[in-house]
A and B are shown apart, each in its own frame.
Chain A
Amino acid sequence: MLNVLIGLLGILVIVANIAILERMLWRPAMARRKTQLCKALATAVNLRCPGYMEWASNCALLCQLVGSNLGFNEETLISLNTAALLRGIGLCAIPFNLIQPGAKEHWSSADKYVFEKHVDASRSMLLAMPNLRWVAKYLEPRDEEGIDFEVNQAKSVLQIASDYCWHVHWDGPAYARQILLQTKSGMPQEEFIRLLLQVIPSDGIGATQIAV
């Protein structure tokens, strides 16, 4: 009996040590590696599409604020943050001249169509990246009958915040806020827009200042 107890104690010590190693070394290292990959991808997109990093980090911040207000759990908030940073990696597949500052004024309808495909491209790219595949679901269209309620909410928050930051980036904060106010009533995501309007300043300064 005593032998068994001592043996069990030995196993317990070994398991505890492995658990400590996992918790203290391995998991933080893997998390850091994923964050660094996200930053590298976002930097690459930023080099191709100047201002992307600001747009993406503003979007991530707004998602965090709205997500916290909605009571999302920590895991969803982290995923949402990553998804916001990587929502635009599909811009790499868009012709260079379409995503330069000031290019939007000269877009034809075909150019607009090509640009709008970038989220689909982002999703396909993320699905092809084994270590970031889990982010892709946040870029899928909202599934009204989806089982995971929180993921569905997160998708809507990401889309609204991203559209807002996109307008801030191209058209200025005042216009972006105006668009948000115009689309407020009658939309299924009215609650999220209301929350977003709560976290952005009312003077039309916009998300850039929030991020700072």
Chain B
Amino acid sequence: MIFNGWEDQLAFYLPSKSFALIAFGTAYAVVLLAWFFARFAQRQRARKECLAALVLLVQQSHPQTLAHLERVSIAAQKLAINLGLSRSRARLVGYAALLHDIGKIAIDEKILDKPSRLTPEERLTVQMHPAAGAMILGEMDDYKLIAEWIRLHHERLDGKGYPLGLTDPFIPIEARIISVVDAFDAMTESSDSLNSRPYRVPKSNSDALVELEGCSGTQFCSKVVGEYVQLWKEGSVA
């Protein structure tokens, strides 16, 4: 190879400008994407760790509630997917269901475990728990949305729910899902379960489903109840 001066030599060794730019751009994009995905995974892990910390808090304050929360979380996530919510949204519904009773931390265990019916004052105290839960979760940006669903999970379509007494159009689908699954689990909780309500005879699954259907349109969303009943018939929730 014969070079005519140093410019020729430089031109031979240097890749073309466009090649250099493409190589640089590709390397930059790959590194940036790798960084982004690594951090995204870490963010998801951090979110789960926050969730675990909050669940631990519930477990410490009222250990019996945990099994109920886990069952409701699994069923709510499945129901959300069946209702056409996206995977990520359904996962958030699962998280919300797992923490929906976190506000019970502010309630005396003697009231929560009372073997007889609650007095009106005690009932009012228990009715504080959705707002208390929303207050706790509202402290975290990641869970602000979940906090709102938790605040509304005891609302009814006919406006007779609590804490706000909202009616049909103002209750998000996620809160409706939690409401249905929570009610079903509370009705069917077996008497040997630590969290069972001693004053209430547990219903069979079929009786509870009939009860849900009976209350659909007034207390529960018909669409959500319909889908939940369908899930039970298919054996997708156990």
Contacts and interface: CB of A to CB of B under 8 A. Distances in A.
Contacts of A128: 52, 56
Interface residues of A, number: 38
A179 interface: no
Contacts, number: 102
A84 interface: no
B106 A48 contact: yes
Interface in B20-41: 20, 23-24, 27-28, 31-32, 35, 39
B140 to A, nearest CB: 4
Contacts of A13: 28
Contact of B109 (A10, A33, A96, A121): A96
A211 interface: no
B128 to A, nearest CB: 9
Interface residues of B, number: 41
Given A2-B10, A2-B13, A10-B24, A41 B60 contact: no
Given A21-B35, A33-B142, A92-B61, A44 B53 contact: no
Contacts of A146: none
Contact of B32 (A18, A33, A36, A129): A18
Given A14-B28, A17-B32, A18-B31, A33 B20 contact: no
B208 interface: no
A130 B45 CA distance: 10
Interface string B162-191: 000000000000000000000000000000
B49 interface: yes
Interface in A21-54: 21, 26, 29-30, 32-33, 36-37, 39-41, 43-44, 47-48
Contacts of B31: 14, 18
B74 interface: no
B90 interface: no
Interface of A: 2-3, 6, 10-11, 13-14, 17-18, 21, 26, 29-30, 32-33, 36-37, 39-41, 43-44, 47-48, 89-90, 92-93, 95-97, 121, 125, 128-132
Given A33-B141, A37-B140, A131-B46, 5 more contacts: A17-B28, A93-B60, A97-B110, A125-B57, A130-B49
Interface of B: 10, 13-15, 20, 23-24, 27-28, 31-32, 35, 39, 43, 46, 49-50, 52-54, 56-57, 60-61, 102-103, 105-110, 132, 135-137, 139-143
